[in-house]
Structures are given as C-alpha cells and as structure tokens.
Amino acid sequence: MRVKYMDLPRQFEDGTVVARVIDEFKRCQFVLGPQVAEFEGRFARACGAAHAVGLNSGTDALFFALKALGVGAGDEVITAPNSFVASAGAIVMAGATPVFVDVDAEYLMDPARLPDAITPRTRAIIPVHLTGNPADLDAIEAIATPRGLPVIEDAAQAVGAAIGGRVVGSIGTAAAFSLFPLKNLGVAGDGGMLTTRSRELFDKVMLYRHHGLRTRDEVEIWGYNSRLDTLQAIVADAVLDGLEAVTAARIRNAAFYDQALAPLAPHVVVPPRRRGVRQVFHTYVVQAERRDGLRQFLESRGVETKIHYPIPIHLQKAAAGLGYKRGAFPVSEAQSERIVSLPVHEYLTETEQHYVVDRIEEFYRR
C-alpha cells in the first residue's frame, strides 16, 4: 500500500477552483483586485481579528509585523529554534538579531525559559504555533505584557487553531499566516496573511505592501512590493470554503494516531495534549527511537514521512554568526534527532492509517 505524505492534487481535482479562477480572472484586475479585499474580510472574520492584509508570503507577514512595531538594527527578537527557518529569517530581514528559547515536550516555546532570554534590547517575542498547536500564549503574555513587549504569533502552520475560545490570529498584537501550497489553507503559489487588532499597525502594513503609496501618486513612506496575487486570493477564497472540513479531518486522523500509537511507548512518544486547546495538525509529529531506521522501513513499505526539521535553526550554517553552539538548546536538539512527521492529511483513509500504525509496530517488533 502506498500512503502519500500529502495529496495536493486531490485538493483541486473536482474542478471548482479552476472554474472559479477562470470565471473571476475575466475581470483582469490582477493586482490588488476586489477579490483580495473580499478574501481579507473573510479571513479576518475566520480568525476573529479586526484586520487582515494579503501579502506575498508568511515570511513577509512576520517581517512587516516587526517593521510596523519599529524593530530594526541592534534589536533582539525572541523565537523558537525548532521552527522553519523563516521565523528567524524574518527577524534578520528586519535587521534585528534572533534570540532563541528552547521548547517543551509539545515542541513549543517553553515559557519557563523565556525570562532568561529577555535583555534590554529585546523588542518583540515571536512564539511559533508549530505543527498547528498554539503556543502557551497565556503564560507568554504574562511575561511579555508587564515588560511592554509585543507578542507576534507565528501562525504560519496554525490557521483555525484556538486556545479556549480565542482563535490564533486574534491573540497577539499581530499574527502571520502562510498560504503556502502544503498548508491547511494553501493556494497555488506563494501567499501570506497578516492579522491584527491594531488599526495603526494595519495602516502601516497596507502602505508597506504597496510601495508606501498612499494614492497612485503619493509616496508616504518607503515601502515594499508584497501583495497577495488576485489569482491566489481567488484560490484562497475557494479553499477557505473547505477549511473547516479539512481541519476536522486532520483532527480526527490525529486522534486516531494518538490512541493507536500510545501502546508503542517508549519506542514512539506522542506529545502530551493540553486540554482546552484546538490543534489543527498541519503536521503530526511524534518522537521515535531509531528514527532514521524507522523512516527507511516505512519508506520501503510505501509510507512517506518527513522531518520538520532535522537541523535546528541555531545549528544551521546561516546562524554561525549568532554564536550558538551545540548544546545551547538541548530539548530542541534532542527532538531534532527523534522527530518524524506522519501523513495526517485530510484525504487519508482509516485503512491507510491502520496500515501506517501496523508498519510502525512491525518495525519495533523486529
């Protein structure tokens, strides 16, 4: 049996997205057409945020949030070392220095270690809702708010996730989402969204994304060119219709694995699940003994897996100048050698899930 890690072609196979693109494209308003504003409105409502801005990527959404908050050279911004590189990349883009805080058993920024990372130069905190699991924003805000530090949610993997009744994207000062094709809400190319409750931040980002142009002829500030393509907004709008179903399917698939893999401890360790939190499972990540052997075995049995991510950011060549050494973040480092992402996508069948679990069992029985 073949179990694909992701089944993107299925997303568009019924032809509705293509039909919408063809139909809407006739308006020929390719740059910031009305469909962008329509999608922004819907996205903001879905996140319970006051404002949403369509951008070229999730990376740019993080970068613009930092710029709008005045982050620049000489500043420090705190984030997690086990994220996709863009979390730190956006900080470097803004001219600031990324400062990492180790993570907990859920792969999320450990609030207990946060105070030690704060210095007089700290200007913002970017917790990452990695895998689609919301970081502990209550604990993080309890540390950040008294110090006057804004919290920017890296929600690139977490559209639809929630803490209690609070949906991610509506909790921090601003939040960044990615519409990258493999995301739960993915488009047919690059795209990103920034949400915020702050009118002032929203106004700035609207200028940033479009050359700082107040009108066609008036340049208020030096800006950038980072706009969600109208065509991608049309795709996003169509995909958003199915987001709740996609999320529900991923949550169901994850619950199945949680239960089925529990008996395999300590060979396979499922992260603890907090109550009252809605995880949306962009990825389903467990820690596994003999991880590389397991992956190879699964591959030979037709099961595709991935690692998110095998090298923590602080140990990347790009980070050499930041001065971190192996051992700086022991939890992240240990996890990077044990984590494996199992297929959890919305098209996975129960038969396929049984097959995946059976093969994992088989591997450890041998």
Identify which of 197, 196, 218, 198 has the alpha carbon closest to the alpha carbon of residue 207. 218
SS3 65: helix
Identify which of 72, 292, 60 has the alpha carbon closest to the alpha carbon of residue 192. 60
Q: Does 220 bind another protein (CB under 8 A)?
A: yes
The residues in 37-56 that bind another protein, with binding defined as CB under 8 A, are 56
| Identity at 361, one-letter amino acid code | E
In the shown chain, the binding pattern of residues 99 to 138 toward another protein, with x for contact by CB under 8 A and - for none, equals: ----------------------------------------
Residues 2, 275, 317, 366: which binds another protein (CB under 8 A)?
317
Q: Does 279 bind another protein (CB under 8 A)?
A: no
* R_g of the chain, CA atoms, integer Å: 21
Q: Does 272 bind another protein (CB under 8 A)?
A: no
Task: Burial-class residue 186 by CB neighbours within 10 Å (0-12, 13-18, 19+).
Answer: buried
Residues 231, 270, 294, 360: which binds another protein (CB under 8 A)?
231
Q: Does 73 bind another protein (CB under 8 A)?
A: yes
Residues 82, 157, 184, 232: which binds another protein (CB under 8 A)?
232
Task: Burial-class residue 316 by CB neighbours within 10 Å (0-12, 13-18, 19+).
Answer: middle
Q: Does 309 bind another protein (CB under 8 A)?
A: yes
In sequence order, what are the residues at sequence separation of 6 or more whose Cβ sits closer than 8 angstroms to the Cβ of residue 2? 302
Q: Which stretch binds another protein (CB under 8 A): 24-32, 244-252, 254-262, 342-350?
A: 24-32
Q: Does 13 bind another protein (CB under 8 A)?
A: yes
Q: Does 58 bind another protein (CB under 8 A)?
A: yes
Task: Report the distance separating Cα 261 and Cα 241, nearest Å.
Answer: 32
- In 3-state terms, the chain is what percent helix, strand and coil (to 5)? 40, 15, 40
Contact residues: another protein, CB under 8 A: 8-9, 11-13, 17-18, 21-22, 25, 28, 30-31, 56-60, 73, 85-86, 88-89, 92-93, 95, 180-181, 187-190, 211-213, 217-227, 229-232, 307, 309-311, 313, 316-319
